[in-house]
Amino acid sequence: MRKTTNWTVTILIALGSLLILFPLYMTISIALKNPEEMALSIFSLPTGLHFENFRNAIEATNFFNALKNSAVITIISVVFILLTNSMVAYAIARNMNMKFFKVLYFYFISAMFIPFQIIMLPVVKVTTDFHMNNITGLIILYVVYGLAFNIFVYVGYIRSIPYELEEAATMDGASTWGTYWKIIFPLLAPISATIGILSCLSTWNDFMLPLILLGDQDSYTLPLVQYVFQGQFGTDFNLAFASYLLALTPMVIVYLFAQKWIINGITQGAIK
Amino acid sequence: MAKRRIAFYLMTVPALLLFFTFHTFPAIQGIFYAFTNWDGFSESYDYVGFKNFVNIFKDENVINSYLFTFKYAIIMTIFVNILSLIIALGLNAKIKFKNFFRGVYFLPNILSVLIVGFIFNYLFSNVFTVWGAKLGSEFLSQNILGNADWAWIGIVIVAVWQGIAFNTILYLAGLQTIPKDLYEASNLDGASKFREFWSITFPLLASFFTINMVLAMKSGLMVFDQIVALTGGGPGRSTQSIALLIYTGGFQGGEFAYQSANAVIYFIVIVVISVLQLKFLQKREMDM
For B36-53, how does the pLDDT look when each residue is reduced to its tens digit (9 = 90+)?
888 877 778 888 888 889
For residue B1, the tally of other CB atoms under 10 A from its CB is 5
Least confident residue range of B63-67, B93-97, B168-172: B93-97
Q: What is the sign of the dihedral through the CA atoms of B100, B101, B107 and B109? A: negative
Given this model, what pLDDT does residue B288 score? 52
Given this model, what pLDDT does residue B282 score? 80
Given this model, what pLDDT does residue B286 score? 63
Rounded distance between C-alpha atoms, residue A24 and residue B157, angstroms: 16
- All residue ranges of chain A with pLDDT < 70 are 1-3, 233-234, 270-272
Query: CB distance B259–A145 less than 8 Å?
Result: no
Q: Are B175 and B89 in contact (CB under 8 A)?
A: yes
> A140 CB near a chain B CB, below 8 Å?
yes
Given this model, what pLDDT does residue B1 score? 59
Q: B271 CA to chain A: closest CA distance, Å? A: 6
Q: Are A207 and A224 in contact (CB under 8 A)?
A: yes
Query: What does the pLDDT average to over B63-83?
Result: 94
- What angle in degrees, to the nearest 10, is found between the helix axes of A7-32 and B98-106? 50
> Which residue is closest to B19 within chain A, CA to CA?
A144
> Which residue is closest to B274 within chain A, CA to CA?
A113
Task: Return residues 54-83 of A near B (CB < 8 Å).
Answer: none
Q: Are A85 and A147 in contact (CB under 8 A)?
A: yes
- What angle in degrees, to the nearest 10, is found between the helix axes of B51-58 and B256-287? 70
Given this model, what pLDDT does residue A104 score? 93
What does the DSSP 8-state code read for residue B237? T
Residue B68, phi then psi, degrees to nearest 5 = -60, -45
- Exposure string of B23-52, with b = 16+ CB inside 10 Å and e = fewer, is bbebbebbbebbbbbbebeeeeeeebeeeb
For residue B10, the tally of other CB atoms under 10 A from its CB is 13
The string of DSSP codes covering B104-139 is HHHGGGGS-HHHHHHHHHHIIIIIHHHHHHHTT-TT
Cβ neighbours of residue B152 closer than 8 Å, sequence gap 6 or more: B68, B71, B72, B238, B239
With CA atoms as reference, report the closest residue to B186 among B177, B201, B196: B196
Q: Convert the pLDDT of each residue in B125-150 to its tens digit.
A: 888 888 877 787 777 778 888 888 88
Q: Are A121 and B52 in contact (CB under 8 A)?
A: no
- What angle in degrees, to the nearest 10, is found between the helix axes of B113-122 and A7-32? 80
Rounded distance between C-alpha atoms, residue B176 and residue A244, angstroms: 36
Q: What is the sign of the dihedral through the CA atoms of B231, B235, B237 and B238? A: negative
Q: Are B256 and B39 in contact (CB under 8 A)?
A: yes
> A174 CB near a chain B CB, below 8 Å?
no
Q: What are the beta bridge partners of residue B36?
A: B47
Given this model, what pLDDT does residue B143 score? 81
> B34 CB near a chain A CB, below 8 Å?
no
The pLDDT of residue B275 is above 90: no
> A1 CB near a chain B CB, below 8 Å?
yes
Percent of chain B at pLDDT exceeding 90: 36
Rounded distance between C-alpha atoms, residue A55 and residue A53, angstroms: 6
Cβ neighbours of residue B161 closer than 8 Å, sequence gap 6 or more: A19, A20, A23, B108, B116, B120
Q: Residue B204 — very low, low, confident or very high, per pLDDT cuts 50/70/90?
A: confident
Given this model, what pLDDT does residue B148 score? 84
Rounded distance between C-alpha atoms, residue A65 and residue A201, angstroms: 19
Q: Strand, coil or helix: what is B36?
A: strand
Q: Convert the pLDDT of each residue in B228-249 to its tens digit.
A: 999 888 788 889 999 999 999 8
The string of DSSP codes covering A176-219 is HHHHIIIIIHHHTHHHHHHHHHHHHHHHHH--HHHHHH--SGGG
Dihedral angle, C-alpha B151, B156, B161, B167, nearest 10 °: 170
Q: Convert the pLDDT of each residue in A234-252 to its tens digit.
A: 678 888 888 899 999 999 9
Given this model, what pLDDT does residue A271 score? 66
Contacts of A13 in chain B (CB under 8 A): 87, 90-91, 95, 101
Given this model, what pLDDT does residue B87 score? 93
Query: CB distance B172–A267 less than 8 Å?
Result: yes
Q: Are B85 and B171 in contact (CB under 8 A)?
A: yes
Query: CB distance A5–B95 less than 8 Å?
Result: yes
Q: Residue B287 — very low, low, confident or very high, per pLDDT cuts 50/70/90?
A: low
Q: Convert the pLDDT of each residue in A153-182 to its tens digit.
A: 899 888 888 888 888 887 887 888 888 888
Q: Report H helices in chain A.
A: 7-32, 35-40, 52-61, 63-80, 86-93, 99-110, 116-129, 135-158, 164-171, 176-179, 185-187, 189-205, 208-213, 222-233, 237-271
The pLDDT of residue B60 is above 80: yes
Q: Residue B191 — very low, low, confident or very high, per pLDDT cuts 50/70/90?
A: confident
